Amino acid sequence: MFRLLALAAWALPLSFAQFIPAPTDLIQAKGYANISVRYKEVPTGICELDPNVKSYSGYVDIGENQHVFWWFFEARNQNASTAPLTVWINGGPGSSSMIGLFQEMGPCYIDKNGNPYNNPYSWTNASNMLFIDQPTQTGFSYSIPVPAYKDGESGQLTVLPNTTCPDYAKNWACGTYSYFNQSLTADSTPAAAPSMYKTLQGFMGAFPQYSSGELFFATESYGGHWAPVFNEYILEQNANLAEGARKINFAGVIIGNGWHDPLIQYQSYYNFTVNPGNTYDYDPFTDSQKARMYNNLYGPGNCYDQIADCYARGTNQDCSLADNFCARQVELLFDNLAKRDELDIRYLSPNPFPPEYFIKYLNTPKVRQAIGAYVNFSKSSNAVGLAFGSTGDGGRVLTILTDMKKLIDANMTVIMFYGDADYNCNWLGGEAVSHKIGAPGYEAAGYTDIISSDSIVHGQVKQAGKFSFLRIYESGHLVPFYQPLVSLEMFQRALAGLDMATGKMVVGKGYLTKGTQKRVDIQHYDWAA
């Protein structure tokens, strides 16, 4: 599902992309399984503004030319040594988790002047938070650091012979980057799973004081691939621990606007725009354009047939061609014809929300030095996207649905939540996936309102035991940005094992929400026409 949505995000503010010397002030530590970790304590004010809350960042060196960046924040207003640990990773593939940190649920946002300010709805109100840039070459993570310049339009990287920016490159972003090499990063979700496991073993061994409790795994978008596969891998390793490794006390997954099953979710683009349509009463296509999308989806040899062939044959060629065809001929029709933002249909493209002031902020020398970064920051990784595209990983269902069912059967928390203004990973597709998983009791559960502490109905939930599907009203792809209060309270309820609707009941295997079997489709009109 490599979407080509963030090409402009590869560009760096020219005045801030710089050649960076290797950090010399990082503390060396050994994690579990003898994995090397380098880190430093981040000064108050770089993001977290409370001097009583500690923050650390650094690298886990999981192998030769494999250096994974992480940034940890203690939980606020509680004992961090007994608080749960939540890992957050963004999607992409190749999207930096600094998106989640600075645009969604981290302790701070960045204003237009480049100053951090407090996020009162940070998920650190409920948990220790560990943000990880993965796989290698994503965000601040790197394989081999090289002097280079980056084309601001295409993201293409050109390596330089030394740390002097030549005249012909000064219109681009000269600096230190991870060497562009698809063979030095993962090319599929299963291939990325061992690296994530090693990263966790490294961090938890270096910081055992934050690793004794439960671990939750939170993610969004392509995280619908990451979370089930990664956590099944973790459970497999728990059952067969290598020497020096530590069992991870895994408790559940929380997935926002996830991309799980391409055969279902490519069809949902037609469902969301044509039949039955979205809940914003927005009809983007003419009759001929609707017919074009239908044919591109269901015509002989087109998207549906190609994805089905990918499922049946499983070759890189079949899956890569299928995913590419479906993305360009089905998904991107909305972008090309409607000129609206895939991630929030209420806005024209380019959408100014959420603001991206954090990109420039992270590329200031002060911040890079404070967090021990060795490369310039890029929001998205071209290398990772192309590597995953070569195997057609985004067109595969892999073991995702069976892995989610295993977690549910093990009485672990599994939450799927969707902002209902997102077209890219829309809630109609997510809802269809939720039914296909086969969670016990789920078909008997009904939809009921989600009530938060402001007494406002922010959406609907269908829940059976610890498995739940949530539709969040008036929200684009990044739900914690658009609806921060209900996002935080959903997270708090998940960690506490409480019902998603009210947060007042402890849920067990027999718990079912009561209400209509069909979701209530509330129309909204207060968006940019």
What residues does 130 pair with on adjacent strands?
A: 72, 87
Name the band, by pLDDT with cuts 50, 70 and 90, for residue 16. low
Residues 415-438 have a mean pLDDT of 98
Question: For 284-316, what is each residue's pLDDT tens digit?
Answer: 999 999 999 999 999 999 999 999 999 999 999
Can you give the pTM of this predicted structure?
0.96
Q: Is 458 a catalytic residue?
A: no
Question: For 492-505, what is each residue's pLDDT tens digit?
Answer: 999 999 999 999 99
**Percentage with pLDDT > 90 across the chain:** 91
CATH of domain 7-259+356-385: 3.40.50.1820
Q: Is 195 a catalytic residue?
A: no
Short-list 304, 284, 298, 293, CA closest to 329: 293
Q: Are 54 and 130 in contact (CB under 8 A)?
A: no
Alpha helices, DSSP H, located in 253-373: 262-273, 287-298, 303-313, 316-326, 332-338, 357-362, 365-371
Catalytic residue among 422, 452, 468, 475: 422
Q: Is 221 a catalytic residue?
A: yes
Catalytic residue among 195, 221, 452, 475: 221
Lowest mean pLDDT among 21-35, 145-159, 402-416: 145-159
Please give the pLDDT value at position 520: 59
Please give the pLDDT value at position 518: 73
Domain spans of the chain? 7-259+356-385, 262-351+387-395
What residues does 157 pair with on adjacent strands?
A: 150
Parallel, antiparallel, or unpaired: how do β-strands 85-89 and 128-132 relate?
A: parallel
Catalytic residue among 318, 420, 477, 487: 477
Please give the pLDDT value at position 152: 73
Q: Is residue 529 scored above 60 in pLDDT?
A: no
What residues does 471 pair with on adjacent strands?
A: 418, 460
